[in-house]
Chain A
Amino acid sequence: MYDVIVRGGLVVDGSGAPGYLGDVAVQDGKIVAVGQITGDALRFVEAEGRIVAPGFIDPHTHFDVQLLWDGAAKPALEHGITCVVPGNCSLSLAPLRAADRQQVIGMFQQIEEMPPAAFTEAFEWTWEDFAGYRAAIEKSLSINVAPLVGHSVIRLWVMGPHAQERAADAGEISAMQDMLRECLDAGAVGLSTSFVDVDENGRPVPSRFAQFEELDALSAVLGEYGRMLQIVPEFYAIDITIARIDQLAELSLKHNIPTTFSPVFDSTATPDNVARTVARVEEQFSRGARVWPQMQTRPIDISFSLLRPSLFFARLPRWVRILRQPLEQRIAALRDPETVAKMVADTGPDGGERMMGRLVVRGGDGAPVELTGRTLSDIAKDRGEVTALALINLSLEHGLDVALLSANAGHEVTDRIGPMLAHPLVHIGASDGGAHLASFSTYGDTGYLFSEFVRKSGALSLEQAVAKLTAETADIWGLKDRGRLEAGKAADIVIFDAATIGRGEERPAFDMPGNGMRYVRAATGIDTVLVNGQVAYAGGQYSEARAGVVCV
């Protein structure tokens, strides 16, 4: 008697091999048989007319804090994701002394656009070390987690305030190595670092003060365990990205470790950048280095209102400072003619037309219905104002609750992106799941891969797409028990309709702690998701199963 038999689906097993009609039997959280299965089971999951695939793995997320109150990392799980990798970009929530929490919250707020309430209202801080964090999330996981530990927090732990001031000395580097070993022993899947991020005061994050020798020493520890080094390179400059690829290759070869960098975006403004990136990656792989570029599937769409700071204003520090103020002060600043004149001037001699003219009113908020779908450029002309001033005044007239969408701001040309995603050395990831909450939905990239690049453009076969999200990702990250439908592997299984799987419409939700807003997408075409043999999601509903584990 099996626990579960998934019956009669098209088995796409993650290997890239053609799918075939068959069944999958599950016992004690593991797959025990795949093929034509005749035995009995406590539960049958009917999959006729559906695809049966390994659960998807999302290798670039920031669910570190959400996992403390939501063990399903909603809505990631309903999009077929059964394993997430949090702790990217040098930031994790352990190891972290109580006295340093506020500083790291500020970094998450700045870099990942997470509201402070997410860190203060929904859970109790019970840990400082990595094992303690692991224990805190493991209490109610519905999804599997392979957490990275952040270089910045390790540096902060060892060096205190000097972490954002100077190079480490030999003793401090040795202490960081010891701390990294402790984290890896406690279940970290690797180390993340960043070369681009700044904290809420504009100061580079601690990892950026590290000499290459420090990263080399930490990579030596990763080599003892064979675990991953993830970095955020200066993705806006191709020559620097290539320099980072070469540094990663050196570390990969010297310490025999896998490395990955993200994001890698396509832009028609710099149409050769991805090709140059991939060409360098090919050269380094040919030497034996493992340097995996991570590419997201979705276009860059950014939504925002003046109710909260946004990534959209990243190049306008005055706007960021003003939008970070409490609501009353923010409104007062936006009503002050002298301040507004400076803000408008910041947007350029055209009054922000080039930067903001293409913005479209999203609707569904405080904006008048008749403005929905119109561009800010048109609205500004009607109002007789320059574009940036129209944005400010329109927002003020409606309590700042006017959401605008900057659509297709890059990485949006399907015929260009498809072949890139299909490249054998391009690692599909970089969703940023759980971050940038009020700027865009970081959920649904998996569905978008199937709807846009399998069904619509045909850039990848169904089997290729599944392999990219499952076995290939598991192999890259060394997740030995995941990613394939074969006997002995963990029973992480997703059952979906190949004709309808998609990412759903983006919509605002107010389900963050403190009634915080985020953009989400509800999955389409996903029938059932099993995590370690238990049904975690079926028929549009999350179950009470808590079978997720920390899975290194």
Chain B
Amino acid sequence: MALSLQRRFVTPGPGETVEEIADRALPDQDQGAAVDAIRSWNLHIFAMRRPPGLLLGSDVVFIEPPIG
């Protein structure tokens, strides 16, 4: 059985910022727009977490919107 398509994600490197993740994961996009997109796709990090945006090494950071 082949694996079905799921949302792509990355995990943060040590000390990596959301800007650095944007540059790494979405290199073809303007950094500001890429950061905004990543924030909107990862509310578990950038809205629900206290403090918001605290990036942890174990985080799943989606680099695309929900599928379908």
Interface residues of A, Cβ cutoff 8 Å to B: 166-167, 195, 202, 204, 207-212, 214-215, 234, 237, 239-240, 242-244, 246, 279-280, 282-284, 286-287, 317
Residues A234 and B58 in contact, CB atoms below 8 Å apart: no
Residues B6 and A246 in contact, CB atoms below 8 Å apart: yes
- Taking a contact as CB atoms closer than 8 A, the residue among B1, B6, B56 that contacts A242 in the complex is B6
Residues B44 and A237 in contact, CB atoms below 8 Å apart: yes
Which A residue sits closest to B9, measured CB to CB?
A243
Residues B6 and A211 in contact, CB atoms below 8 Å apart: no
Query: Given known contacts A237-B44, A283-B3, is B14 in contact with A244 (CB within 8 Å)?
Result: no
A283-B4 Cα distance, complex, nearest whole Å: 8
Does B13 belong to the interface (CB within 8 Å)? yes
Within 8 A of A (CB), among B45-68: 50, 54, 56-58, 60, 62, 66
- Taking a contact as CB atoms closer than 8 A, the residue among B9, B50, B58 that contacts A209 in the complex is B58
Residues B11 and A212 in contact, CB atoms below 8 Å apart: yes
* B1–chain A nearest beta-carbon distance, Å: 4
A196-B6 Cα distance, complex, nearest whole Å: 21
Query: Given known contacts A166-B14, A283-B1, A283-B3, is B66 in contact with A239 (CB within 8 Å)?
Result: yes
Query: Given known contacts A283-B3, A287-B3, is B13 in contact with A244 (CB within 8 Å)?
Result: no
A65-B58 Cα distance, complex, nearest whole Å: 28
A415-B21 Cα distance, complex, nearest whole Å: 44
A209-B14 Cα distance, complex, nearest whole Å: 9
27 CB < 8 A contacts A-B: A166-B15, A204-B56, A208-B57, A208-B58, A209-B57, A211-B11, A211-B13, A211-B57, A211-B58, A212-B11, A212-B57, A215-B58, A234-B44, A234-B60, A239-B6, A239-B7, A239-B62, A240-B44, A242-B7, A243-B7, A243-B62, A246-B6, A279-B4, A280-B4, A280-B6, A287-B1, A317-B50
Residues A202 and B50 in contact, CB atoms below 8 Å apart: yes
Residues A214 and B60 in contact, CB atoms below 8 Å apart: no
A283-B3 Cα distance, complex, nearest whole Å: 6
Residues B56 and A209 in contact, CB atoms below 8 Å apart: yes
Contacts of B15 in A (CB 8 A): 166-167
Contacts of A284 in B (CB 8 A): 3
Within 8 A of A (CB), among B9-52: 9, 11, 13-15, 44, 50
Contacts A211-B14, A246-B6 known; 11 new A-B pairs at CB < 8 A: A166-B15, A167-B14, A202-B50, A204-B56, A208-B56, A210-B57, A234-B44, A280-B4, A283-B1, A283-B3, A283-B4
* A150–chain B nearest beta-carbon distance, Å: 14
List of 5 A-B pairs having minimum Cβ-Cβ separation, nearest first: A286-B1, A167-B14, A211-B57, A243-B60, A208-B56
A242-B56 Cα distance, complex, nearest whole Å: 19
Contacts of B58 in A (CB 8 A): 195, 207-212, 215
Which of B15, B44, B50, B58 has its CB near the most chain A CB atoms (within 10 A)? B58
Residues A167 and B60 in contact, CB atoms below 8 Å apart: no
Q: Report the interface size for chain B: residues with CB under 8 A from the other chain.
A: 20
* B40–chain A nearest beta-carbon distance, Å: 14
Contacts of B13 in A (CB 8 A): 211
Contacts of A280 in B (CB 8 A): 4, 6
A286-B4 Cα distance, complex, nearest whole Å: 12
**Secondary structure of the A contact surface, majority rule:** helix
Which A residue sits closest to B67, measured CB to CB?
A239
A113-B4 Cα distance, complex, nearest whole Å: 39
Contacts of A282 in B (CB 8 A): 1
Which A residue sits closest to B14, measured CB to CB?
A167
* B45–chain A nearest beta-carbon distance, Å: 10
- Taking a contact as CB atoms closer than 8 A, the residue among B1, B6, B14, B50 that contacts A243 in the complex is B6
Contacts of B14 in A (CB 8 A): 166-167, 211
Residues B60 and A240 in contact, CB atoms below 8 Å apart: yes
Which A residue sits closest to B12, measured CB to CB?
A211
Contacts of A244 in B (CB 8 A): 60
Which A residue sits closest to B58, measured CB to CB?
A208
* B58–chain A nearest beta-carbon distance, Å: 5
Which B residue sits closest to A237, measured CB to CB?
B44
Contacts of B57 in A (CB 8 A): 167, 208-212, 214
A243-B1 Cα distance, complex, nearest whole Å: 18
A214-B15 Cα distance, complex, nearest whole Å: 15
* A315–chain B nearest beta-carbon distance, Å: 10
Contacts of B3 in A (CB 8 A): 283-284, 287
Contacts of A207 in B (CB 8 A): 58
A246-B60 Cα distance, complex, nearest whole Å: 11
Contacts of A212 in B (CB 8 A): 11, 57-58
* A244–chain B nearest beta-carbon distance, Å: 7
Contacts of A211 in B (CB 8 A): 11, 13-14, 57-58
Contacts of A195 in B (CB 8 A): 58
A287-B60 Cα distance, complex, nearest whole Å: 22
A208-B3 Cα distance, complex, nearest whole Å: 27
A208-B9 Cα distance, complex, nearest whole Å: 17
A393-B28 Cα distance, complex, nearest whole Å: 58
Which B residue sits closest to A246, measured CB to CB?
B6
* A326–chain B nearest beta-carbon distance, Å: 24
Which of A208, A211, A242, A279 has its CB near the most chain B CB atoms (within 10 A)? A211
A237-B62 Cα distance, complex, nearest whole Å: 12
Contacts of B7 in A (CB 8 A): 239, 242-243
Which of A202, A210, A212, A280 has its CB near the most chain B CB atoms (within 10 A)? A212
Which A residue sits closest to B51, measured CB to CB?
A202
* B10–chain A nearest beta-carbon distance, Å: 10
A118-B58 Cα distance, complex, nearest whole Å: 31
A294-B1 Cα distance, complex, nearest whole Å: 22
Contacts of B6 in A (CB 8 A): 239, 242-243, 246, 280
Contacts of B9 in A (CB 8 A): 243
Which B residue sits closest to A239, measured CB to CB?
B7
